[in-house]
Amino acid sequence: MLEVAEKYEKAFARHARENPHFKRFLDDDGGPPNDEDWIRARIFMRILCTLNKWIVTDDLFIAWDGNRDES
């Protein structure tokens, strides 16, 4: 979901500048995403992707899946 939102970073910024109702609507939730929010989102995405690669390629995935042959 973050990867999709990141594609619209410029649209969020432009919409916040051009539409005061959009900004006001989001003010209750901290306002529209700012530059720092986008940086944090990218870092978080990298962490999640790294964890996903580790889990999928490690034996832990097999153990969690229950298909590991323990013999």
The DSSP annotation for 9-48 comes to HHHHHHHHHH-HHHHHHHHTTT-S--HHHHHHHHHHHHHH
Taking a C-beta distance cutoff of 8 angstroms, is the pair 9, 2 a contact?
A: no
- Predicted local distance difference test score (pLDDT) of residue 39: 92
Quick one: average pLDDT of 60-69? 54
Tens-place pLDDT, residues 1-57: 777 888 888 888 888 888 888 878 887 778 888 899 899 989 998 898 888 777 776
- Predicted local distance difference test score (pLDDT) of residue 36: 93
